[in-house]
Amino acid sequence: MMDAWWDGALPSDYQAWMWKRAPSFFDVVAYTGNGTSVRNITHNLGVEPEMIWFKVRTDVDNWQVYHKDVGADKASFLDNANAAQTWGFMNNTAPTSSVFTTTSGYINSASQNYIAYLFASLDGVSKVGSYTGNGSTQNIDCGFSSGARFVLLKKTSGTGHWLLFDSERGIVSGNDPFLELNRTTAEKTTFDIIDPYSNGFTLTNDTTYGFNASGETFIFYAIA
């Protein structure tokens, strides 16, 4: 299907986020591992991917996440809250505008099928970035003109959940509903972690989740 992800009835509290493959914005690559120690996989993003999500489809394993500001020698895991870990899954090799690097035993095991989702910053549309918390409030400038409609946050200097916000459920000056991608719990609705900002989004001084804790480092992905 090209216009939806389900052709039956679902409860009204289901939520979906969909990306369209487009140069400099988003690409998807499916490949079969061959077990070689170092292997380059071709992609069609057209620019250097700044974030990649990897998942093996024929075995049980974590979602492994590359982010440009964490480095190709470390991985975060989309399904847990751990800090970024030195993993060697990309052979400490940053992706290029045409290929990304895989290693055997991580994301190139022989005969296993994989899927990779590639993201990049596109002026006025999307932003892959990072920030250091200041313990107060700070504006995150994504180069947008009407604020962010989708925001994904992750702490990389320590343990922290993947928090997902969107304007459909509300990014407002006050409490904002968010989901923790690495957990199966219901959305949280009683915390004010981000606020609207025309160029991107504003981080508050929330101390419960600590997504602007002084000196801590965080990664984010935002869409206008």
- Based on the fold, state whether residues 33 and 115 are members of the same structural domain: yes
163 in any annotated domain: yes
139 in any annotated domain: yes
Determine the Cα–Cα distance for residues 60 and 133; give it in Å rounded to an integer. Answer: 34
**82-118 burial, b for 16+ CB within 10 Å, e for fewer?**
bbbeebebbbeeebeeeebbbbbebbbbeebebebbb
94 in any annotated domain: yes
14 in any annotated domain: no
19-57 per-position pLDDT tens digit:
999 999 999 999 999 999 999 999 999 999 999 999 999
Asked if 76 and 219 count as a contact pair (C-beta separation under 8 A), the reply is yes
- Based on the fold, state whether residues 114 and 161 are members of the same structural domain: no
Determine the structural domain holding residue 163 and report its residue range: 126-223
- Quote the pLDDT of residue 11: 72
- Quote the pLDDT of residue 73: 93
- Quote the pLDDT of residue 8: 67
Please identify, among 119, 135, 159, the residue that sits at the C-terminal boundary of a domain.
119
Looking at the structure of the chain, the number of domains it has is: 2
Determine the Cα–Cα distance for residues 5 and 153; give it in Å rounded to an integer. Answer: 25
87-109 per-position pLDDT tens digit:
899 999 999 999 999 999 899 99
Q: What DSSP letter does each residue of 117-155 carry, written as one string? A: EEE--BTTTEEEEEEE--SS-EEEE-S-SS--SEEEEEE
- Based on the fold, state whether residues 73 and 162 are members of the same structural domain: no
- Based on the fold, state whether residues 111 and 136 are members of the same structural domain: no
First-to-last C-alpha distance (Å) of the chain: 25
13 in any annotated domain: no
Segment-wise mean pLDDT, segments of 10 residues, the chain, 224 residues:
63 83 98 97 98 97 97 95 93 97 95 98 98 97 98 96 97 97 96 98 96 97 98
pTM of the entire predicted model: 0.95
